[in-house]
Structure 1
Amino acid sequence: MSTAAVRGRWGLSAAQGDAACAALCFLAEPPRGGSAAGGRAWRRPLARGAGPANGPGGIAPSRFLLWAVTGAGKTEMIFPLLGAILEKQGRVLVATPRRDVVLELAPRLAKAFPETRIVTLYGGSSERWQAGELTLATTHQLMRFYQAFDLVIIDELDAFPYHNDPMLAFAARHACKADGKFVYLSATPPRPLQREAARGTLAHARVPVRFHGHPLPVPRRITLKSIEQCLRQPMLLRRLNDALRQSLERDAQVFLFVSRIRHIDPLVAILRRIFTGYCVEGTSSEDPLRAAKVTRFRQRDIRLLVTTTILERGVTVPRSDVYIADADSGLFDEASLVQMAGRAGRSSEDPAGRVVFASPQWTLSQKRAVRQITGMNRIARKNGYLKDS
């Protein structure tokens, strides 16, 4: 099927269509030898007692990386892949880190594939003993299967719980048939996979642009003392406060990410005194009202939300600006910084949202995050995907 036909059938953008077609070509390739099961950094955790390959003759599942920026529409891009396998009476597994994502994806897949038996699996699911052509599951459910699927799609492989968990990586490998195929989805793939892609040893496609066709917002830097110091001397927050005020006055919703839960309440108290005309709240993994606050933030009742990386993924709020305090913290790696930055500029009405890294130091992780974002913009412009190109 041509790129134009794929785009027309599934309603994809040019960038999405090109990536989907590259993945379809990968699915059409014959099974490869055991060396295709993974690069060295990804085989090592799987090798304990497993041998070099899944099946006879050294056959092991081949891998493909779909590297799509935040907000690129990864879900829509996998529809052609699911269709290609299902049309051949094959079985597909889509694994994603969170239960809420499973529940959100299930009706979308049911609408796209109305004649397909879809099973959803997560902790407490009523369908856990049922079989289907298309299985949608949380990553822990991978351990239920052995060589059951022709295609295994791992969404957000860089996120908890899949990332750095050899047991789940082992389970994922053995859920796939020996001659099956793996597709990894990520906006921030782990560096070993990035290196494999750069060397050409991992089949991959990049989607360097969001659906609206505008460049990704590039983070800028504000030199700021650590939040720990700023809480003791609130005057030190002045540069950050000035920038926050600009965002609020331009009518943006503001994410303010911090590295420590203990910083949230005292920082919220300071910001409430400064921004008296705006609703300021804080939330974290320990907050029982987190879901309600996120809803209020989406509804613009809350204008400035101080939070941790608990909201770095899966939250889309139109017209958002992002500020990351203590951006030099060791808790914020390149992937976290890119994901947090990815909350800004997601809507077509406000595609150039602001992203600010506020810290006393300019770290390698921050430099790599900026390099990754500017690199995607460069690729998008080169390929003619940007509306301003």
Structure 2
Amino acid sequence: MPFYPTAKQRQIVWQLWLSLSHTKKVMLQAVCGAGKTEIATLIIASYLRRGGVVGWAIARRDVVVELQERLQAYFPKTTVLGLYQDSPDLGRKGQLIVLTTARLSAFYQSFDFLVIDENDAYPFSVSAFQQATAAMSVIKNAKTLYISGTVEQKDVKDYDAIISLSRRFHERELPQIEFVEQRHTMYREHSDFFKKIAGFIKKGQPIFIYVKSKKKGLDVLKVLIRYWDGCVENVSSNDQKRTEILNRVRSGQTQILITTTILERGVTFKNLQVIVLDADADIFNAATLVQIAGRVGRSIESIEGEIYFYYGSGITYAMRRAKKYHNRANKGEVIFL
């Protein structure tokens, strides 16, 4: 493997093996940035060595593309496919298949082992059809590993066992979340909001600005492009060029990315800073806010970062739950939403 697991990760792998040897549905619940992908990789390696076919399902296409690249690097001698709408791998056969949850319907009793990554994400979390096809995609008595950083307390009963990890792989605390009142003057040049962005850009740090809707994103883009033309872009769920846009962020060409919740999960960028506008909007539930905050401080090269939740009407219960989640994780507690 091109990575060396920490002592804590090896301990979690051992606990997962024990649970999977006695049960069929196991949840790995860990904070964002704990190395859940690497932990699961150590589990699936044994299935691949025995010639088993492994599926790794996740809701969003962007994450499939990124995960396929990572797993191919981890298993260079294994054919790793990435399946999503219009994928070049459609119709091909492989031993390790990374696919969107919508593609599970094409597989019937096919997988010896199945990973369902971020099973609480839309649309899998609300689709009885996708959940049923996931159950039918594995062979008889096959094991399924669920992975998430945001397990609801009410859903604990759905799993045969839950293994929890409340520390990131680099053992540093989760960055603190700060609440900021959203004033009508915030889009003026000398506002606190503008000063924060200017400070991040001066340090060469990329910024994700999360917005509640595509329309809001376009409105914010019109304002910021006056001052940072050439280094600010906007992305949403129906943008067909998301991969190209994300590549420009990684290369440093784009420093400010205005995004909807389409990028709340599964993406990692070094030195990333996060601002959520209208964090008190209904679309930002506790799980979404935790996942968004989880984009910050993930890399060993940039273990710190800043997270700002801007609110208009008031601090919501979801915002408080997200902040409480970070505080409890930093105390080493088992964390459920």
Which residue type is aligned with residue 205 of structure 1?
Answer: I
Task: Report what 2:27 is aligned to.
Answer: 65
Which residue type is aligned with residue 375 of structure 1?
Answer: R
The CA distance in 1 between the partners of 2:149 and 2:143, in whole Å, is 20
Deviation at 1:278, TM superposition (A): 8.3
Structure index of larger Rg:
1
Q: In 1, are the aligned partners of 2:53 and 2:96 still within 8 Å (CA)?
A: yes
Deviation at 1:12, TM superposition (A): 0.7
Aligned residue runs from structure 1 range 43-62, under 5 A:
62=24
Q: Aligned pair count?
A: 333
2:285 matched to 1:356? no
2:154 matched to 1:192? yes
Q: In 2, are the aligned partners of 1:222 and 1:239 still within 8 Å (CA)?
A: no
- Cα distance change of structure 1 residues 93 and 235 upon mapping to structure 2, 3 Å threshold: closer
- In the alignment, structure 2 segments of 5+ residues that lack a partner are none
- Cα distance change of structure 1 residues 320 and 132 upon mapping to structure 2, 3 Å threshold: closer
Moved more, 180-189 or 306-315: 306-315
Task: Report what 1:212 is aligned to.
Answer: 170
Task: Report what 1:24 is aligned to.
Answer: 17
How big is each residue's C-alpha offset from its partner over 1:184-230, in whole Å with a ceiling of 9 and x where there is no partner? Answer: 0112234533x449xxx7412223233332211121111114xxxx3
Runs of 4+ off more than 6 Å: none
| Percentage of pairs with the same residue | 31
The CA distance in 1 between the partners of 2:50 and 2:98, in whole Å, is 19
2:331 partner SS = helix
Task: Report what 2:332 is aligned to.
Answer: 379
Which residue type is aligned with residue 75 of structure 1?
Answer: T
2:113 matched to 1:151? yes
How big is each residue's C-alpha offset from its partner over 1:244-292, in whole Å with a ceiling of 9 and x where there is no partner? Answer: 344344442222111122122332333345x469843333234455443
2:325 partner SS = helix
Which residue type is aligned with residue 252 of structure 2?
Answer: R
Which residue type is aligned with residue 327 of structure 2?
Answer: T
The correspondence for 1:161, drawn from 105, 120, 123, is 123
Which residue type is aligned with residue 307 of structure 2?
Answer: V
How big is each residue's C-alpha offset from its partner over 1:304-337, in whole Å with a ceiling of 9 and x where there is no partner? Answer: 2222112222332221211101000001111211
The CA distance in 2 between the partners of 1:244 and 1:78, in whole Å, is 36
**RMSD (CA atoms):** 3.2
Aligned residue runs from structure 1 range 1-389, under 5 A:
11-29=4-22, 62-88=24-50, 90-106=52-68, 108-110=70-72, 112-113=74-75, 120-124=82-86, 133-193=95-155, 195-196=156-157, 202-225=160-183, 230=184, 234=187, 238-273=191-226, 275=227, 279-287=231-239, 289-360=241-312, 361-379=314-332
Q: In 2, are the aligned partners of 1:157 and 1:189 still within 8 Å (CA)?
A: no
The CA distance in 2 between the partners of 1:177 and 1:148, in whole Å, is 6
- Cα distance change of structure 1 residues 325 and 157 upon mapping to structure 2, 3 Å threshold: same
Deviation at 1:118, TM superposition (A): 5.2
The CA distance in 2 between the partners of 1:374 and 1:27, in whole Å, is 30
The CA distance in 1 between the partners of 2:136 and 2:249, in whole Å, is 41
Which residue type is aligned with residue 208 of structure 1?
Answer: S
Task: Report what 1:34 is aligned to.
Answer: none
Which residue type is aligned with residue 67 of structure 1?
Answer: Q
The CA distance in 2 between the partners of 1:83 and 1:375, in whole Å, is 32
Moved more, 213-222 or 124-133: 124-133
Which residue type is aligned with residue 347 of structure 1?
Answer: S
Q: In 2, are the aligned partners of 1:224 and 1:239 still within 8 Å (CA)?
A: no
The CA distance in 2 between the partners of 1:107 and 1:148, in whole Å, is 22
Q: In 2, are the aligned partners of 1:10 and 1:80 still within 8 Å (CA)?
A: no
1:301 partner SS = coil
The CA distance in 2 between the partners of 1:165 and 1:239, in whole Å, is 41
Q: In 2, are the aligned partners of 1:24 and 1:80 still within 8 Å (CA)?
A: no
The CA distance in 2 between the partners of 1:21 and 1:132, in whole Å, is 27
Q: In 2, are the aligned partners of 1:220 and 1:357 still within 8 Å (CA)?
A: yes
The CA distance in 1 between the partners of 2:171 and 2:246, in whole Å, is 27
How big is each residue's C-alpha offset from its partner over 1:72-107, in whole Å with a ceiling of 9 and x where there is no partner? Answer: 222221122213334555443221223444444445
Which residue type is aligned with residue 215 of structure 2?
Answer: R
TM-score, length of structure 1 as denominator length = 0.74
Task: Report what 1:44 is aligned to.
Answer: none
How big is each residue's C-alpha offset from its partner over 1:330-351, in whole Å with a ceiling of 9 and x where there is no partner? Answer: 0111121112112221223331
- In the alignment, structure 1 segments of 5+ residues that lack a partner are 1-7, 32-61, 382-389
